[in-house]
Structure 1
Amino acid sequence: MYAPKNTSVTVSPSGEIVEGSSVTLTCSSEANPPVDKYTWYKKTVTSPKASGQSYNITNITSEDRGEYYCEAQNEYGRLNSSLASVDVQYRPKNTSVSVSPSGEIVEGSSVTLTCSSDANPTLDKYTWYKKTVSSPKASGQSYSITNITSEDSGEYYCDAENKYGRLNSSSVYVDVQYGPKNTSVSVSPSGEIVEGISVTLTCTSDANPPVDKYTWYKKTVTSPKASGQSYNITNITSEDSGEYYCDAENKYGRLNSSSVSVDVQLKQSLVSGVVGITVVVLVLILCLSGFIWFRKKSSQSTSNEGNIRDTQNNGQTDFSPVYDNVSDMVMTSTAAQTADTDDQDDLHYASVHYSSSNEQEEPLYSTVQSSQPQKQEEEVQYAALKFNCPSAAPRLTTRGAEEEPSMLYSTVIPRTKRT
């Protein structure tokens, strides 16, 4: 009689144990009397897993993976078996990414991403991705980014793969911190800015952490105009016209925006009023100028007429003498009888004076004489001429000269033949 000895464990099936399959562990031992009690244990676990010569695990998982042993016992004693390994193979699990350094990541530094996963057999392929980018960024268990920039900010994850499957990790955010970039100013309202309205200037900048200080400046003015992301100008005037810019700052730096022009226009009503007043003033100036010119011309005309009237009344001046050269005189029937047409070769001249004044009392006379001395005078012919003056505009009548002051008399002395 003896206690158990040569206690051992067999595993079935003996090949690869894949997650989800069934596994049977069997305990054997030499003993006399035979073993009457079997107890199953898993290494690192103090409490028994099962009892009986066989231990059957159905739908095995990765958690069942480990080393097992059995305890054989009879009335003379007990004995533990050697360890038997149950190697459950499975696809990747618990895939994750770690970032080094773990603190703040500043633009220009280097960052390393490392992928880890629970898998059996161990992973044989790692692939790195950045969210919003479809193509892979890198391969290998670690992904190193040197001289990191703000464009590298984003979410990253890895894909872990073995022969039983693959699994993506959860994403990790790489937060690259940097000073302000792309600082700019917007103006609201964006259209025409009319005097009297309110205008808001807004400063925007790409920065991480966000900009914590905004300062507003107007060109040609050294001191700041305001602070804060928005600068509001209420009841704007023409004096507010000019170019404005903002300065954006965080703990990593500062950057000025490009300047934006604020052009303040006068109110339309004021412009219309100014234009209307200008037009009225111009019209008044033109009317006044025309009136002054007309008065001046009227004064000059009245003065000239008065001078002419005075001169005519005094009988000192003949107005506008008119000379008429006469050739081939047409003789009256009486003159034709007394003149010898064959010898009439010389020219005759007539001097005619007229006056535009209605107050001319004395008739004007015209004397027509031959150019050669006369020995005798024959019949004297008189001709009465009347001129219509523009100012008086008298009618032509047959009345005597006493009733018509503008009547002209002409004495025609025919030329006689030389003897």
Structure 2
Amino acid sequence: MNKYTEIHPNGQRAYQFVADTAYVRESGTKGEHKAAEYILKEAEQAAAQTGKSVYIQTPRMEFFQCPDFQQKKAELVICQPYKKAYPVRAYLNGACTLEEGITAPFLFVGKGDDISLSQAKGAVVLVCDPIREDTINKIKAAGALGFVTVCGTPLDQGEDRIPTQYRRKAGDLPGASVHYLDAVEIVEKQASQCCLNIQQSEISRNSANVAVRILGTDFPEEIVTVTAHYDSVPEGPGAYDNMSGGAMVMEAFHHFAEHRPARTMEFIWFGSEEKGLVGSQNYVKSHEGEMSSHVFNLNVDLAGQLLGGNVLGVTADPTVCAELKNLMEENQLGVTIKNQVWASDSNTFAWKGVPALTLNRDGFGMHTRHDTVEYISPRALEEGAKTLCTAAAWVANEPELSFEREIPEDMKRELEKYFA
């Protein structure tokens, strides 16, 4: 593997890309639509600058519907031994209560241990941490009628006191989150009875993926994808998660538009990732007929902050990790390489049998209002984009790839469970 000395991403240009989209881009909202138009325009301009319309296809949007849930009401009132209403937010994709809510005993069960839950039948339980479906099922099996979980920290003030909205399947139990400081008061005052009222409805949102394709010189029938999601959670503008990743994908497109690859490359910015990898799932479904031609996916999720380290989470045969290690050492690009399933859009490709990786970097503020462009560094963007382009150039240009287009059996099982 030769050193890729011709790779020179532009950190300032990437930073401007993030700064230009420094607003909330929740799936299906005006913010997400505005960002999609911006990305499309940037891709069109980058393609036009090369004058290589012979092998660069016209950038496009691929529209789809994103199913979602909308909170209509979320109320928690402690009734005994005192009466007080606390601000809460519903666990979306969970159950609703009766219209009048659930009036029931209230029980603090710590982290949901078996002994504490043995007293939970017929009660609404308070659990210390945000929980996933397996714990929700455990609470249900104990006979609880609903649950409340704790979010935030004792240091939060102002806007940070707003409870977090979780988008995790809650089976057929109604659930909500309450802020840490309110939970402390509830437990200290020994709340023993409550009324929990959760009302939500299923909705559908319009979303889109943005994509542009460069036809390969030697192996045009083989496809390498370079991807990132551009939507954000509603709590913040998502500079770190994940418009920085989107900026790095745009830098990769700039590079390969000028240095035509041997294999065909598709650069994709996914919508609605935060709703459950919906954009990437829509892509593999709408491109189902060509998925057997895909040889590798390189994804970016969480990037751009200066103090941190790059990680390549590789969902593929271990030989890919060995090749990448040699490549990064030869090009003096500091990374940690992990051979595992990664919770991002790379999963969608691996699920369909395509070797994949996610480039990830430590950072601050994910899924909060603090995820802003002020914490993003042009230097980190440039370094990350060079790492991304180096790995992509290897996969896109190597005459004979040394790894099998096959996902290990243990990873297949984990992916099936993940998407189930």
- Greater length-normalized contact order (CA 8 Å, ≥ 6 residues apart): 2
Larger radius of gyration: 1
* TM-score tier (shorter): under 0.3
TM-score of the two chains, using structure 2 as the length reference: 0.19
Larger helix proportion of the pair:
2
